[in-house]
Structure 1
Amino acid sequence: MSKRVQLLLRAARAYSEAGAHAEAARCYDALGWRWTAADAYHRAGDLEHAAETYRRSGHPDRAARCFRLLGLPDRAARCWQEVGSPLEAGWELLVADRTEAAAPLLADAARTPPTAPGPSLRLRLAGALYRRIADRGGPGRAVGPEPLTALLAEVERGILTVSSRTERLRLLEWGVEAADRIDRFDLSAALFGAAHRPRRDQSGARTEVLEQWQDWAARRLGGTAWLPGPGATPVAG
């Protein structure tokens, strides 16, 4: 390890311990430790630098999330397009009510539909939400949420059959977004409950699900007292 690397590491750690995360991020960036740098930029609240650094480090999901928080759906979508993921790119635009821009991306994704259960359900969710948003704006047309509610029930039943932890969490996020769009917070809560049920390979994911559930309940329902505690098993129902 060169003297320069040692000094940069020492400086980065000192800055981190002092809570100077932006300065720590610049040190990590100079070292080429892009993931660590992006994480430090995020902790510093510099979402734009965090997004670009996540993107350069090959994590489009983290980059897109930062751009979404910045209110930049086009840049969020571009992160996914750069890695050949039109479904995720279309979703970023769809949830920002950019239906016209989302349409060709979702159509591209539908040309070669995924066969894995998680992405397949997400493609169907995107299509159902797109139709509801697009049709709702048509003259004299009112489309009810019934097709979407039926699909959300299917997502609830199938979420724990998805083997990939990352895919389960992404499916949960999309399902909750769709349920919230039709003001069916009961369905959103049911999705969280399903994702929080025990699974042998997801103890860490259950903690993450519970944290997201608590954040959602505080924002949407104004409280979290009714949620399960850490380690608790939700009652199926």
Structure 2
Amino acid sequence: MTNRTVLLERAAQCYVAVGHFAQAADCRERAGHLLAAAALWERAGDPARAADCWRRVGRPLRAAECLEALGKHAEAAECHREAGDALTGGWLLVTRAGQPAAGERMLRSATVGQEGEQVRLDLALALARALGEGGTDGLIRAVDALLDRLPGLPPEQQRRAEQWAVTAAERIDRPDLGATVFTSSYLARVPGVVERWQEWAVRVLGGTAGVPAEPLAH
């Protein structure tokens, strides 16, 4: 290390010792220690600077987390694409950034492998078209197809498929469709569905009347 780098690192250590994380992060960034700087920017409560460092060091998923926390969903979507996950990136554009056309373009570049990814891709494309062009018939068919395949998916893929389908139902203002998704998930014994269903019912319907209190027995 050069003398300047050594001095910056010593300064950073001193700042960390007294809890001045922003100053420490700035020192480590100027020293070229971007991984350490990114973590310190997060501790300092500056996710924007942290995201910049994570991205520059080749950690786009960590950058995406910081950008989503800031509500910068379009930038987060691009980070997901850089990380090779255009499916999640396109979904963010459609559901969070309010950019269904851009989301559809990104989704069409997605490469999927697992069955759960394919049904989520079909759902996301249908939602993008519904929000961009109007009409919900295609989206309802995509939800129905997803629910038919839900019981055969691995648990984590089940949970994500359920989450995306519920979100899609909310985006087109169809709480009845959301309830149908949770019912299917409940009958498929998806782990944790009761808690998610109850939280959704309180938030969307104002109460949990009719929502099961316990999962189905095996």
Q: TM-score, normalised by structure 1?
A: 0.61
Q: TM-score, normalised by structure 2?
A: 0.66
Decide whether the 8 Å contact of 2:116 with 2:153 is kept in 1.
yes
Counterpart residue identity of residue 212, structure 1: R
Shift of 1:160: 2.0
Secondary structure in structure 2 of the residue aligned to 1:108: coil
Counterpart residue identity of residue 73, structure 1: H
Give the corresponding residue for 1:102.
Answer: 103
Q: Deviations over 1:187-216 (max 9, x none)?
A: 2122222223465xx6xxx23x32222221
Give the corresponding residue for 2:145.
Answer: 154
Shift of 1:222: 0.5
Aligned residues: 186
Give the corresponding residue for 1:93.
Answer: 93
Q: Deviations over 1:108-128 (max 9, x none)?
A: 12xx4x353211111111111
Give the corresponding residue for 2:165.
Answer: 175
Structure 1 residues 214 and 59: CA distance shift in structure 2, 3 A? farther
Give the corresponding residue for 1:116.
Answer: 114
d(CA) in 2 for partners of 1:210 and 1:133?
29
Shift of 1:162: 0.8
Q: Does 1:217 align with 2:207?
A: no
Give the corresponding residue for 1:14.
Answer: none
Structure 1 residues 134 and 120: CA distance shift in structure 2, 3 A? same
Unaligned runs of 5+ in 1: 1-21, 23-31, 137-142
Q: Deviations over 1:117-145 (max 9, x none)?
A: 21111111111111111213xxxxxx3x1
Decide whether the 8 Å contact of 2:91 with 2:103 is kept in 1.
yes
User: Identity percentage over the alignment?
Assistant: 34
Q: Does 1:125 align with 2:115?
A: no
d(CA) in 1 for partners of 2:141 and 2:85?
26
d(CA) in 1 for partners of 2:139 and 2:169?
8
d(CA) in 2 for partners of 1:127 and 1:198?
24
Counterpart residue identity of residue 77, structure 2: A
Secondary structure in structure 2 of the residue aligned to 1:129: helix
d(CA) in 2 for partners of 1:177 and 1:197?
19
d(CA) in 1 for partners of 2:118 and 2:194?
25
d(CA) in 2 for partners of 1:66 and 1:196?
33
Shift of 1:54: 9.9
Decide whether the 8 Å contact of 1:156 with 1:190 is kept in 2.
no
Structure 1 residues 155 and 161: CA distance shift in structure 2, 3 A? same
Q: Does 1:232 align with 2:207?
A: no
d(CA) in 1 for partners of 2:82 and 2:162?
24
Shift of 1:158: 1.4
d(CA) in 2 for partners of 1:196 and 1:54?
39
d(CA) in 2 for partners of 1:67 and 1:224?
33
Structure 1 residues 160 and 223: CA distance shift in structure 2, 3 A? same
Unaligned runs of 5+ in 2: 1-20, 22-34
Shift of 1:102: 1.8
**1:188-199 aligned within 5 A:** 188-197=178-187, 199=189
Counterpart residue identity of residue 103, structure 1: E
